[in-house]
Every structure is written in structure tokens, then in C-alpha cells.
């Protein structure tokens, strides 16, 4: 008399355990799904003495095993086996294993297993089965596939947001295009209009209390998954592109930020039209003061344009690299550096590329890192990460770069050779630093890196 529970037996009987004992420990770890019972694969092997028989499954079912019983993850024996079809390397390499698994799935379905049952991740057996057209054909011929069902789309807003996030996550994780197509057609496409309505509400004046950047990103990602063509048309229907000045406003700026984060391929002409409108709002000279932060949306638009147009966008990027708006000029330089896979002159980038110990960096890398460290400290009005030695070396470096005004500002952080703790002096240095006209230290550093790529052996390292 076997001592395993009926559900345990159904799941374990479906795997040819002798094949598992002959594989290496590393290969066993790659057999993706965790057995949804308390017993381990090793215990199962010893319990069954390495033997396997579909007849065992028939006996357990005949003895009243619950074929739709679930584990803590919501997996049933059928769902577990169907997931193994997609994720177990043996299915494609061992014909006997594949045939046995197919027969086990057919047996469970004929015994009343629910092919549409969803686990806690929102997956059902049919989702995984779509990755195997031949098996799907067998099931269809045997009359074991369900008729198309209407998907229930949650009405409650929070439940709907959970639904679309779950479906998007499933699509990102699936390994087979056929499974993805099933997911999109069955569960995503029917919910597209509802998602678009939510986005429209969020971006309206009446939707302020529903507005969430995280939810907006999730909704837009889902819309693109459910119907990319329709989603692209929807985004281009906004008049923000024709009247780029709207991106200075809170709601359009939020949408632009979300599109950039999602790496949304907006039509290049729409991006160029918005850039041209914002360009007219930039200062005409370093001395011209305009109370307008057009540089921020322009930087995002330039990044998106480079991603969609590639080399064709380079002349425009270079134009803005020489403009009179310091932040926009730096953004243009950053785009060019990333395009060439060169380090961006920012503290965190140098940390990631060369390690956290500046002493181990080559002299040029350490010099640029310390300049970036001081630059960030003064921009953020927080010099707690600095030391007097770093400040002294950066003062000399700035003078070598022809940045005497910046060097003089940094020098105010030192009092009698020590770093000042006077908040007034630090605040004054911060304001003076950020108000200086271009070129800024970050731009000079970026130009140096662009001009001397051979000095940066990490050029193959991907930049953020």
C-alpha cells in the first residue's frame, strides 16, 4: 500500500523518475517547476525505486484521487505537467519522455482535469499546451479541448489593474510565441478598450485622484501587448506632439516619461515636431534668462528619437550638444556616449564600471570619477560624501579643463584646508554652481571621453 497522498502520486507518477536519476545534479536544477508537494524529487525517486508507470496513475484515479486538487501555488497535477512540457528540456530531446508525458496529460483530461483552471500566477494548462502544436492537434482530435470561452474582465478598478499586470508579466515570461499569441488573443485583446478608457481617464482633469505613474505605465504596456497598432494610433492622437509645449505641463509630462520608460517607439516625425516647438522656447544665448524648463522634455524626446531613428538622429543630437542650455547639452552628450557604449561621466557609472575603490582606478578614470563626485555633490547640495583631498584634486582638475569659475566655486568648500561644515557656504556654492552658463564640467568630461575612447577599455560595457 503506497503512503503518498493521491495528489502527490498523480504528479510524481507523470514523470519518468529513472530519467531524473541518470541526469546530473545541475541538469535536475534546470527542470524548472518545483514539485507542488511537500516531498522532494529525491524522495520520490526512492519511493518509486526509479520506476514509472501510467498504470499507477490509473490506479490512483480509480481509488478516488482528486485530479483538480491544488497545491499552495494553485497548481493542479495537469497544470504542473503542462508546464513541464514547456520548461523540461527532455520533452524535446527524449521521445519516450515526451510520449509518456503526452499520455499522462490525456489521461488526466479524460479523468476530468480542468484545463482552464488558473494558478495564482494566472496561468492555465492551455496556456502551456499552445507551445506544442502536435499535442494540441491530438487533444483536439480527441475532443479534449474546450470551446472558446468569454473571458471575464474584472470590473473593479483595482482588480482590473491586477489583471493587466498579471497578464503582462505572463507575456514577458513565456518562452514560446504560440503561448504568447494565445494569451494575447484570449486574455489581453478583449481588455484593450477597458485599459484605454482607464488611461484616458487618468490623463483627464477629472482623473487626478486616479492618477498613478506606476499604473499608467502598466496600462500603456498592456495596451501595447493587447493591440500594438491600436495603441500606437491612440498615443499619436494626442495633440501633445503638434503642440510640444504641452510637455511642460504635469499630465503630458507624466505620459512622456512613461512612454520613455517603456521604450515606446513613437513615430519620428511626431517627436521632431514636438522638439521643434520646444526648441523655440530655449534661451538664445548663455546670458538670456527664460523661466522655462523645456530642456527636460526635450532630453526625453531626443532619447526616444535616437532609439527610433538611430544614425539619422545624430545630426540633431550633435546640434543640441552645442546648445546654450546646460542640461539639454549634457543630455545630448550622454546620448552620444551611450550610443558608443562609452562611460557616462556620472559617479554611479564609474562605480559600476571600475569598482567602488577609487584607489584601484587608472589615473584618468579616477580623475573623472572625482570630478563627477564633486559635480553631483554640488548639484544635489550635499557634500557629505566628499573629502578635502578629493576637493583639492578636483579644483586642480577643473582649472586644467579651463573651468576656472567652477574651480573657484568648489574652492569655497575648503576652509583652512578642511572641508567646511557651514550650511550657508554650502548652499551658496550650490546655487552658484548650477547657475553657471555652459559648458559645465559634465559636458567637458563627456567631450573628453568622446574624443579619447581608446582610454576607456570598458567601452563594450552596456550603459544605463
- Per-residue model confidence (pLDDT) at position 355: 77
Whether residue 422 sits in one domain with residue 334: no
Q: Is residue 352 domain-shared with residue 430, that is, in the same domain? A: yes
- Indicate the angle between helix axes 441-451 and 326-339, nearest 10 degrees: 20
On whether residue 197 sits in a domain, the answer given is yes
**Cβ proximity of 247 and 256 under 8 Å:** yes
**Would the pLDDT of 83 be above 90?**
no
Give the chain's end-to-end CA distance (angstroms, integer). Answer: 60
- Please, which pLDDT band fits residue 176 given cuts at 50, 70 and 90? confident
**Band (457; pLDDT cuts 50, 70, 90):** low
Q: State whether 116 and 93 are in the same domain.
A: yes
Helix (H) / strand (E) element for 419: namely strand 418-419
How many domains, in total, are found in the chain? Answer: 4
- Check residue 462 and report its DSSP letter: P
Within 13 Å of residue 44, how many CA atoms lie on the same side as its CB? 24
My answer on whether 278 and 385 are in the same domain is no
% residues pLDDT > 70 (the chain): 84
Identify any residues that bridge with 414 across adjacent strands, giving them in sequence order: 419
| Residues 13 and 132 placed together within one structural domain of the fold | yes
Q: Is residue 464 part of a domain?
A: no
Q: How many residues does the chain have?
A: 464
Quick one: 356 and 386 in the same domain? yes
Do 11 and 135 fall into the same domain? yes
Instruction: Please count the helices (runs of H) and the strands (runs of E) in the chain.
Output: 26, 2
Q: What value does the mean pLDDT take over residues 362-377?
A: 92
pLDDT digits 0-9 by tens, 436-454: 887 899 999 999 999 999 8
The pLDDT of 219-227, averaged and rounded, is 97
Do the domain assignments include residue 463? no
289 pLDDT more than 60? no
Query: Is 283 domain-assigned?
Result: yes
Q: How confident is the model at residue 32 (pLDDT cuts 50, 70, 90)?
A: very low
Residues 96 and 24 in one domain: yes
Give the CATH number of the domain where residue 80 resides.
1.25.40.20
The tally of CA atoms less than 13 A away on the side-chain side of residue 7 is 20
* pLDDT tens digits along 194-213: 999 999 999 998 888 888 99
pLDDT given at position 295: 87
Q: Which residues contact 385 (CB under 8 A, 6 or more apart)?
A: 373, 377
CA distances from 396 to 43, 240, 374, 392, 435 (A): 68, 46, 13, 7, 21
Q: Give the residue from 339, 356, 388 where a domain finishes.
A: 339
Sorting pLDDT into bands at 50, 70 and 90, what band is 374? very high
pLDDT category of residue 302 using cuts at 50, 70 and 90: very high
In a domain, 1, yes or no: no
Q: What is the per-residue DSSP string for 116-165?
A: T---TTS--HHHHHTT-HHHHHHHHHTT-SPPP-------SHHHHHHHHH
Alpha-carbon distance of 401 to 395, in angstroms, equals 10
Pair (218, 272) in one structural domain: no
Rounded CA separation 48/8 (Å): 12
Helix (H) or strand (E) holding 418: strand 418-419
**Sign of the alpha-carbon torsion through 41, 45, 50, 52:** negative
Q: Which three cell numbers stand for residue 261?
A: 520608460
pLDDT, one tens digit per residue, over 331-348 is 999 999 999 889 999 888
Q: Are residues 380 and 432 in the same domain?
A: yes
Q: Which of the listed residues 237, 255, 285 is the one where a domain comes to its end?
A: 237
Alpha-carbon distance 209 to 330, whole Å?
35
Residues 6+ apart with CB under 8 A from 435: none
Identify whether residues 119 and 173 lie together within a single domain: no
Instruction: Note down the domain range covering 383.
Output: 347-455
| Residues facing residue 418 across a β-bridge | 415
Boundary of a domain, candidates 107, 124, 141 = 141
Task: Specify whether 353 is located in the same domain as 332.
Answer: no
Task: Tell me phi and psi for residue 418, to 5 degrees.
Answer: -115, 155
List Cβ neighbours of 62 (8 Å cut-off, separation of 6 or more).
Answer: none
| pTM of the full structure | 0.74
> Does the residue 25 lie in any domain?
yes
C-alpha of 345 from chain center: 24
Mean pLDDT of the chain: 83
Cell of 138: 491530438
Is 17 among the domain residues? yes
Amino acid at each position: 500500500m503506497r503512503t503518498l497522498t493521491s495528489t502527490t502520486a498523480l504528479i510524481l507518477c507523470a514523470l519518468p523518475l529513472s530519467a531524473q536519476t541518470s541526469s546530473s545534479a545541475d541538469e535536475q536544477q534546470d527542470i524548472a517547476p518545483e514539485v507542488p508537494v511537500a516531498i522532494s524529487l529525491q524522495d520520490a525517486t526512492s519511493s518509486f525505486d526509479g520506476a514509472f508507470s501510467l498504470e499507477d496513475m490509473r490506479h490512483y484515479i480509480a481509488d478516488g484521487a482528486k485530479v483538480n486538487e491544488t497545491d499552495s501555488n494553485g497548481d493542479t497535477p495537469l497544470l504542473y505537467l503542462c508546464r513541464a512540457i514547456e520548461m523540461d528540456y527532455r520533452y524535446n530531446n527524449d521521445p519516450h519522455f515526451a510520449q509518456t508525458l503526452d499520455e499522462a496529460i490525456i489521461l488526466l483530461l479524460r479523468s476530468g482535469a480542468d484545463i482552464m483552471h488558473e494558478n495564482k500566477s494566472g496561468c492555465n494548462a492551455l496556456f502551456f499546451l499552445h507551445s506544442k502544436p502536435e499535442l494540441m492537434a491530438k487533444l483536439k482530435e480527441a475532443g479534449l479541448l474546450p470551446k472558446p470561452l468569454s473571458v471575464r474582465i474584472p470590473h473593479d478598478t483595482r482588480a482590473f489593474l491586477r489583471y493587466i499586470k498579471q497578464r503582462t508579466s505572463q507575456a514577458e515570461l513565456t518562452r514560446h510565441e504560440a503561448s504568447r499569441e494565445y494569451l494575447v488573443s484570449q486574455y489581453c485583446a478583449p481588455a484593450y478598450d477597458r485599459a484605454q478608457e482607464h488611461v484616458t481617464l487618468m490623463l483627464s482633469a477629472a482623473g487626478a485622484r486616479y492618477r498613478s505613474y506606476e499604473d499608467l505605465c502598466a496600462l500603456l504596456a498592456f495596451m501595447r501587448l493587447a493591440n500594438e497598432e491600436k495603441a500606437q494610433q491612440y498615443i499619436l492622437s494626442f495633440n501633445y506632439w503638434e503642440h510640444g509645449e504641452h510637455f511642460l505641463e504635469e499630465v503630458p509630462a507624466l505620459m512622456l516619461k512613461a512612454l520613455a520608460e517603456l521604450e515606446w517607439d513613437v513615430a519620428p516625425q511626431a517627436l521632431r515636431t514636438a522638439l521643434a516647438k520646444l526648441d523655440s522656447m530655449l534661451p538664445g544665448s548663455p546670458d538670456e534668462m527664460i523661466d522655462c524648463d523645456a530642456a527636460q522634455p526635450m532630453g526625453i524626446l531626443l532619447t526616444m528619437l535616437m532609439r527610433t531613428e538611430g544614425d539619422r538622429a545624430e545630426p540633431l543630437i550633435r546640434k543640441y550638444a552645442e546648445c546654450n542650455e546646460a542640461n539639454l547639452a549634457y543630455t545630448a552628450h550622454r546620448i552620444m556616449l551611450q550610443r558608443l557604449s562609452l562611460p557616462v561621466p556620472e559617479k554611479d557609472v564609474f562605480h559600476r564600471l571600475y569598482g567602488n575603490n577609487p584607489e584601484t582606478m587608472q589615473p584618468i578614470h579616477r580623475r573623472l570619477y572625482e570630478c563627477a563626485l564633486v559635480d553631483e555633490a554640488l548639484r544635489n547640495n550635499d557634500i557629505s560624501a566628499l573629502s578635502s583631498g578629493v576637493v583639492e584634486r578636483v579644483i586642480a582638475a577643473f582649472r586644467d579643463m579651463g573651468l576656472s569659475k567652477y574651480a573657484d566655486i568648489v574652492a569655497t568648500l575648503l576652509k583652512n584646508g578642511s572641508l567646511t561644515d557651514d550650511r550657508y557656504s554650502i548652499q551658496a556654492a550650490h546655487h552658484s554652481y548650477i547657475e553657471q552658463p555652459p559648458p559645465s564640467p559634465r559636458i567637458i568630461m563627456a567631450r573628453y571621453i568622446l574624443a579619447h575612447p581608446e582610454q576607456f577599455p570598458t567601452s563594450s560595457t552596456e550603459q544605463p
